Amino acid sequence: MFEMRRPGAVLFDRDGTLIRDVPYNGDPNRVEPMPGALEALVRLRRADVPVAVVTNQSGVAKGLVSPDEMDQVNARVEELLGPFDAWAICVHDDADGCTCRKPAPGLVIRAAAVLDVSPRDCVVVGDIGRDMEAARAAGARGILVPTEVTRPEEIDQAPEVADNLIEVVDRVLTDAEDPVPAGARIAAPWARAMGWSRW
């Protein structure tokens, strides 16, 4: 059970969580935010909670999406939803045996490192079991927001389930009853300059 306190960061899956899931999408014009995504992010930013994206993009490894197309889609996500403090992207396929592709913890660990917070102080928000498994493997708190593609067993096995992103933010900000001492979180202004963190 996680101690109920202000998160060091909230890490969002991209497809099916922040934006509608369009499989192997390389067209920025097809990017559509999920309901409540912008409001949820605005509230977290106003609360000075860092927000990041942790996303599997195997379409690059499969040759279905070019790195440039992926970058254009990510840029469109930021146009619609505002800037993120970090992006951690796995461009590998399942057979590549990497340590970053969810359900492995690599993306969560990398995003936390960029933001200079512990993975244990992060909340990972996603729509499928892989997201929750990655959170668990990294020692982070996981909150599942199911969609039509989420399997019943993934819901049953999730550590926490929320109906939507607004409920997620209600929960993580309400949990944070104690104010954070001044200077407790050091922002990482260089994170934006790093661009997309993919490997």
- The set of catalytic residues is 13, 15
Strand partners, 70: none
3-state secondary structure of 123: strand
Q: Is 73 exposed, middle or buried (0-12, 13-18, 19+ CB in 10 A)?
A: buried
3-state secondary structure of 78: helix
CA atoms within 13 A on the CB side of 85: 26
> And the tokens for 82?
């505002």
